[in-house]
Amino acid sequence: MNATVTFGYTRKNPIFSMLEFKIPDNEITVLCGHNGAGKTTLLKILSGILPSEAALKESWFVPAGSGLIRHFSLSDHIRMLKATDTELYRAAFELFRAESFYNVPIRKLSTGQSVMASILTAIASKREILLLDEPYASLDPVNAQHLCQLLKMYPGTVVLTSHDLFLTLETSAHIQFLKSGSVSWVNQNPEISIEELRAAYAEFA
């Protein structure tokens, strides 16, 4: 999937100018980069939150935090989607032990639980493309591993941002670094080691 992204809040200062963003179909791509590199902005552009011609129609955006309706529970959100059970959803439900917070309003959940609720809602949406903004940030190591496992099972395309190089490597070999509004480094080598990734991060991110 290719997208040419040109975006700026003002015409004089574009954040992305003709950024050629390529993501492999039905694979996971991890975006890395320093704070302020434009990772979240890029996801918001692709999801159509920020108005742009590069928006991908069949995408679902999971923001950092939760991005769900505070007074609704996970069950309310799932009902809203009129979603039918899928194998992946059931697996996610079990791995995240969602039974314990399924009927609890989002405002009463911990940050990690609301992120898990948000991810479950995204999976239930069955959109072709999932865009996740730092999904690992609020999860404990066990649930972060579960998420990694679930993303690998997702039948569509996944793009996520992460600051955790270990989890990045574990999630996918398709890694891209963003720097000053452009893709500064791309990896597709499945054999890359954490040391090599760290070295690339130090040089290109």
Partner 1 sequence: MSVSFRTVFRKDFIELTRNRLLLLFVLFLSGLVSMGGVVGYRLADTVIFSLILIIIVQYTFDAYNNDIRSGAALFLITMRAGFYRIHLSKILISLILSLPLFFVAFLHQDTFSLVAVHEKLILVASVVLTVNVTYFAIAVTKKSDTLTFFVGSSFALGVFHGIGAIQQLWFQYGTLALLVTMFFLFDCFLYRSKRFRASL
Tell the smallest beta-carbon distance from residue 78 to partner 1 (Å).
12
User: Whole-number minimum distance, CB 190 to partner 1, in Å?
Assistant: 32
Residue 114 to residue 138: CA distance in whole angstroms: 9
Candidates 49-57, 84-92, 142-150, 165-173; binding stretch for partner 1 (CB under 8 A)? 49-57
* Position 39 contacts partner 1 (CB under 8 A): no
Only segment of 70-78, 136-144, 184-192, 197-205 that touches partner 1 (CB under 8 A): 70-78
Beta carbons within 8 Å of 19's beta carbon, 6+ residues apart: 4, 5, 6, 42, 181, 182, 183
Among 66, 143, 162, 176, binds partner 1 (CB under 8 A): 66
Nearest to 31 by CA among 130, 177, 191, 158: 177
Residue closer to partner 1 by CB (options 105, 173) is 105
Residues 122, 62 contacting (CB under 8 angstroms): yes
The answer to whether 16 contacts partner 1 (rule: CB under 8 A) is no
- Residues in contact with partner 1, counted by CB under 8 A, come to a total of 23
Q: Is 27 helix (H, G, I), strand (E, B) or coil?
A: coil
| Region 76-115 residues binding partner 1, contact defined as CB under 8 A | 80-82, 107
Q: How far apart are CA 112 and CA 35, in angstroms?
A: 21
- When the beta carbons of 7 and 21 are compared against partner 1, the nearer one is 7
50 binds partner 1 (CB under 8 A): yes
Helix axes 111-125, 141-153, angle to 10 degrees: 10
The Cα 28–Cα 160 span in angstroms is 8
Which residues contact partner 1 by CB under 8 A?
9, 44, 47-51, 60-61, 63, 65-72, 80-82, 107, 125
